Amino acid sequence: MLRIAVPNKGSLSGPAAEMLHEAGYQQRRESKELRIVDPENEVEFFYLRPRDIAIYVSSGRLDIGITGLDLLIDSGADAEVILPLGFARSTFRFAAKPGTANGIEDLKGKTVATSYEGIVEGHLADNGIDASVVHLDGAVETAIELGVAEVIADVVETGTSLRNAGLEVFGEPIMKSEAAVIRRTGADAEDPKVQQFLRRLQGVLVARTYVMMDYDCRVEQLEKAVALTPGLESPTVSPLHNEGWVAVRAMVPSKEAQRIMDDLYDIGARAILTTAIHACRL
């Protein structure tokens, strides 16, 4: 049975459960459940604090886990990313009152409040900056107003929380993060159960980013049309009953679907349809 750690709370938990559900796995019905077994898929899910997941996975007691790259780095645990998942995307940055700091050099002798002191202390050390770090559990943006620190280092997504606190980012981004599947460093890369789990999640990622496109076009236009819709390997081309016409089918990135439909129409393609992909194995 594959043992998988999943986030029980916070920004990662909803999207992670949704992705696992789309991949065909049973998920808990109640937010208080700490562990469920999905016997059909031979998987056991452990609902843990996102911050603790890398530690459990690095201990080897759980095979894999879903967590944020920033939480993995912050923990210092001996685990590595095996599949980035594309949700909970954020940047980790320094921020302060406008006009009080411009770059990392300005942190010398200051106090930085953060929930991620592993990342911050590592970054300060790499840059040879001597500053103190104070750990706070959350709502870090308030630390400056209340005099606990002159600078904060925190997760930034839209920047709304910083704006609301009257703060501005400064310096280079410390790191970019997103949710990812992790495993213990050096664990068996070929484990068929892990490989099957990853293929299922990859199927969800592809189904989310691609649509299937079908259209008819004249044989003379086929090469131009196929250049617009090269597909993942090569598009399917089938003859139509009307001589001189073919039907083409190819996967295209959903973000580009409308532009591709316009371009196909302009070169004479007709009956252009897109349909959602619900699941796939590439």
Ligand X SMILES: O=P(O)(O)OC[C@H]1O[C@H](OP(=O)(O)OP(=O)(O)O)[C@H](O)[C@@H]1O
Ligand Y SMILES: Nc1ncnc2c1ncn2[C@@H]1O[C@H](COP(=O)(O)OP(=O)(O)OP(=O)(O)O)[C@@H](O)[C@H]1O
Q: Which residues contact 146 (CB under 8 A, 6 or more apart)?
A: none
Per CB under 6 A, 42 contacts ligand X: no
- The helix/strand/coil state of 242 is coil
With CB under 5 to 8 Å by kind, the binding choice for 139 among ligand Y, ligand X, Mg ion, none is: ligand X
Is residue 68 within the footprint of ligand Y (CB under 6 A)?
Answer: yes
Selection from ligand Y, Mg ion, ligand X, none that 159 binds (CB < 5 to 8 A by kind) is ligand X
Binder among 33, 130, 157, 262 for ligand X (CB under 6 A): 157
Residue 216 in the binding site for ligand Y (CB under 6 A): no
- Single out the residue of 139, 219, 271, 282 in contact with ligand X (rule: CB under 6 A): 139
Considering only 16, 19, 144, 155, the residue that binds ligand Y (CB under 6 A) is 155
Asked if 273 and 229 touch (Cβ cutoff 8 Å), the reply is no
Member of 17, 83, 119, 155 binding ligand X (CB under 6 A): 155
Q: For ligand X, which stretch binds (CB under 6 A), given 28-36, 153-161, 168-176, 236-244?
A: 153-161
Q: Are strands 79-84 and 179-184 parallel, antiparallel or unpaired?
A: antiparallel
Helix (H, G, I), strand (E, B) or coil at 241: coil
Angle between helices 10-22 and 50-59 (to 10 degrees): 60
Give dist(CA 144, CA 115) in Å, integer: 14
Residue 108 found at the interface with ligand Y (CB under 6 A) = no
Residue 105 CB, nearest approach to ligand X (Å)? 25
Instruction: Specify the DSSP class assigned to residue 28.
Output: -
Instruction: Return the amino acid letter for 215.
Output: Y
User: Which residue is nearest to ligand X, using beta carbons?
Assistant: 138
**Considering only residues 84, 86, 122, 159, which one is a binding residue for ligand X as defined by CB under 6 A?**
159
Q: Which of 55, 74, 68, 80 is nearest to 13 (CA)?
A: 68
Taking CB within 5 to 8 Å according to partner kind, which of ligand Y, ligand X, Mg ion, none is near residue 242? none
Determine if 114 is a binding residue for ligand Y (CB under 6 A): no
> Does residue 42 belong to the site contacting ligand Y (CB under 6 A)?
no
Q: Is 66 in the site for ligand Y (CB under 6 A)?
A: no
DSSP letter for 179, please.
E
Compute CA distances 268 → 222, 224, 245, 255, 261, whole Å.
Answer: 10, 10, 11, 22, 11
User: What is the nearest approach in angstroms of Mg ion to the Cβ of residue 211?
Assistant: 34
- C-beta of residue 178 within 8 angstroms of C-beta of residue 86: yes
Site residues, ligand X (CB under 6 A): 138-141, 154-161
